[in-house]
Every structure is written in C-alpha cells, then in structure tokens.
Amino acid sequence: MYASTANPVLVMGVLFVGASVRYAIDTEPVRLRFIAAIALALLVTMIHSTWTCMAAVFHYLEQSKPEGLARSLMTGLMESTRPATLGGALLSIGLILVAVGAFRSGRRELRALRS
C-alpha cells in the first residue's frame, strides 16, 4: 500500500523542490504563485495518502483475529505515516530553497537601490 500512496507525494515533492531550485537561482517573483500552489497540493496529497494508508490498516484490523491486534495496529499506523514523512522532508527542503531565493532577491533589490 505504501508504494501506491507515496508515488503522488513523490511527484508533487519533486515538482515543488524543482520549482524552489529555479526560484533560488533566478529569484523571479512570478514563480512564487506556482510554488505556493504546488506546496498546498503537496500538503493535501500528504494528508490524503496518510488517511488512505490508515483506512487500509483499519480495514485489515476489522478482518483480523484478536490475537496480535495491538501489534498490527501499531505497525500499521507506523507504516501509514511514511507518505507524510516523505512529503514533510521534501516540503522542508523546498521551503529552505525558497528562503534562499527570497534572501537573494532582497539583496538584488538593495544593490539596485544603491546604484
């Protein structure tokens, strides 16, 4: 189940990091709209993937035997957080790159004012 729910998170995350790298390099303000939209899409995808994994865990637990129920629940919930972990890591990397771009953009504007 993890692979099928992690793929959309990976695609959105790679798009977000790619757009963030481009913004960090050229600091064009028009890129911020796309970055904000793809970050929101990544966040929604992370939440949806995590809920989908949790639904699969609870569906399995509904059909399983009472022995080892707690262990299965804890293992399943641990596995369910992997799409959110992947998305959170990609979101953090992308936001750091956006911060670098914002810093560079501010420095570029200050140099333009001084000349």
Who wins on pLDDT, 78 or 115? Answer: 78
Average pLDDT, whole number, for the chain? Answer: 90
Secondary-structure breakdown of the chain: helix, strand, coil percentages, each rounded to the nearest 5? 90, 0, 10
pLDDT digits (tens, 9 = 90+) for 32-76: 999 999 999 999 999 999 999 999 999 988 888 888 888 888 998
| pLDDT number for residue 84 | 94
Position 27 pLDDT exceeds 80: yes
pLDDT at 67 (0 to 100): 86
pLDDT of 102 reads 92
Quote the pTM value: 0.85
Nearest-CA neighbor of 50 among 94, 26, 86?
A: 86
